[in-house]
């Protein structure tokens, strides 16, 4: 086994160099060099602190063993379907939700906004239930397809049009007074 030589301490070497600087001819150069050496020493201390944060061989081995343990666990689960099913239940299929509002709902909304309040219910009653559900989604009204068509028409009329028009009329009266 080869013997290790004495580690050269950089701080000591830099300190020795700093002691030799008074021999230099110009004082400005000496001050600049001393300041540079001091900054280098600070950086070396910072680097030493950063290097101390790296994991050692012991920590690296522990992480490696943990990874191997997890891999062997998953391999053993493959051989035991009942265990796999109890630990990892099958994902349920999600229903497809319509994010897009149908063009019928857009056209219907434009049509309804132009109608008088009394005509809105009659026009809504003429529409298909799917169109009414899409219109309620466009208006931000929570409605499911489980609602009856009449209940859906009533909800859209009251929350989507009657309330809004009432607020607009109240706002118009306050603005004029």
Is the predicted pLDDT of residue 124 greater than 70, yes or no?
A: yes
- Cβ neighbour number for residue 109 with a 10 Å cutoff: 17
pLDDT at site 109: 76
Is the predicted pLDDT of residue 149 greater than 50, yes or no?
A: yes
- Distance separating alpha carbons of residues 132 and 150, to the nearest angstrom: 10
- The pTM for the full model equals 0.38
Distance of CA 10 to CAs 3, 59, 139, Å? 21, 28, 73
- Distance separating alpha carbons of residues 60 and 54, to the nearest angstrom: 10
pLDDT at site 145: 72
pLDDT at site 173: 53
pLDDT (tens digit per residue) in 63-119: 889 989 988 888 888 888 787 777 777 766 666 555 454 567 777 777 877 777 778
- Cβ neighbour number for residue 133 with a 10 Å cutoff: 21
Is the predicted pLDDT of residue 169 greater than 80, yes or no?
A: no
More confidently predicted of 61 and 33: 61
pLDDT (tens digit per residue) in 79-94: 887 877 777 777 666 6
- Distance separating alpha carbons of residues 130 and 2, to the nearest angstrom: 85
For residues 44-72, give the mean pLDDT.
Answer: 87
């Amino acid at each position: 086994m080869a013997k290790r030589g004495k580690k050269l301490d950089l701080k000591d070497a830099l300190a020795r160099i700093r002691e030799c600087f008074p021999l230099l001819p110009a004082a400005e150069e000496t001050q600049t060099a001393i300041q540079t050496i001091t900054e280098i020493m600070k950086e070396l201390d910072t680097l030493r602190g950063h290097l101390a944060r790296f994991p050692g061989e012991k920590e690296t081995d522990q992480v490696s063993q943990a990874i191997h343990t997890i891999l062997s666990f998953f391999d053993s689960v493959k051989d035991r379907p009942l265990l796999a099913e109890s630990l990892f239940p099958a994902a349920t299929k999600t229903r497809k939700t319509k994010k897009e509002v149908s063009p019928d709902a857009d056209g219907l909304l434009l049509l309804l906004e132009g109608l008088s309040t009394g005509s809105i219910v009659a026009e809504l009653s003429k529409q298909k239930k799917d169109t009414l559900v899409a219109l309620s989604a466009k208006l931000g009204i929570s409605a499911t397809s489980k609602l009856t068509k009449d209940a859906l028409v009533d909800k859209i009329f009251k929350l989507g049009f009657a309330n809004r028009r009432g607020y607009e009329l109240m706002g118009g009266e306050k603005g004029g007074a």
